[in-house]
């Protein structure tokens, strides 16, 4: 049995008819692919930029305050105020580092440099940075001199201690000991 679909004229197409591909229909698809590729490249570049900028030291991106502001924030004592140890000042030395013998090493340096040695012992603290505490503003300049001579970078007013000046040695300097006789940098 044959029907009309079996009899096809030569050269005549039959069945599913497809439109001839036109160049104009491919241009839209190609444009879309190019735009999506550009957006992807921009996103990758932005992500890399964010990653590298977050890897740097954040403190390096903060500008230092102008010299006039930092100078006015804390008046510096004159050189004559802090150049000589006052032997009437009592200095306690407390070991908050857990390093055996640290208070003894620092207390010997305190006496050697001219201050009256008070209590020497252990102290319980969670701090890791050594600090020289002073009781009363009149002891501020001597506390800075003590800190400088021992290699401690921080001084702080505190009424928590009975002595005029109290040195709390922590893990930052306990192992190395006090500065040699020339003194260290302060602040």
List average pLDDT for each run of 10 residues in the chain, which is 187 residues long.
67 59 73 95 93 69 54 46 78 92 91 91 90 93 92 92 93 84 45
10 occurs within a structural domain: no
- Write the CATH number for 158: 3.30.70.2390
Which residues constitute the domain of residue 161? 90-169
68 occurs within a structural domain: no
106 occurs within a structural domain: yes
50 occurs within a structural domain: no
Distance CA(144)–CA(141), nearest Å, equals 5
pLDDT of residue 36: 97
Can you state the angle between helices 102-112 and 140-150, rounded to 10 degrees? 120
Is the pTM for the entire model greater than 0.85?
Answer: no
Specify the DSSP class assigned to residue 97: S
40 occurs within a structural domain: no
Rounded alpha-carbon distances, angstroms, from residue 118 to 82, 115, 141: 20, 9, 18
pLDDT of residue 154: 92
18 occurs within a structural domain: no
Per the structure, the count of domains in the chain is 1
131 occurs within a structural domain: yes
């Amino acid at each position: 049995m044959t029907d009309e679909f079996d009899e096809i004229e030569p050269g005549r197409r039959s069945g599913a008819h497809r439109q001839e591909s036109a160049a104009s229909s491919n241009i839209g698809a190609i444009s879309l692919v190019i735009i999506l590729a550009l957006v992807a490249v921009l996103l990758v570049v932005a992500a890399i930029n964010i990653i590298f900028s977050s890897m740097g030291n954040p403190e390096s991106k903060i500008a230092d305050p102008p010299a006039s502001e930092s100078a006015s924030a804390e008046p510096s004592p004159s050189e004559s105020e802090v150049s000589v140890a006052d032997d009437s000042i009592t200095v306690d030395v407390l070991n908050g580092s857990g390093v055996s013998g640290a208070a003894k090493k620092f207390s010997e340096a305190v006496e050697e440099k001219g201050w009256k040695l008070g209590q020497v012992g252990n102290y319980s603290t969670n701090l890791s940075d050594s600090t020289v505490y002073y009781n009363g503003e009149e002891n501020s300049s001597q506390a800075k001199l003590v800190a400088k001579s021992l290699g401690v970078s921080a001084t702080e007013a505190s009424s928590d201690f009975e002595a005029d000046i109290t040195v709390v040695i922590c893990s930052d300097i306990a192992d190395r000991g006090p500065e040699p006789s020339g003194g260290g940098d302060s602040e």
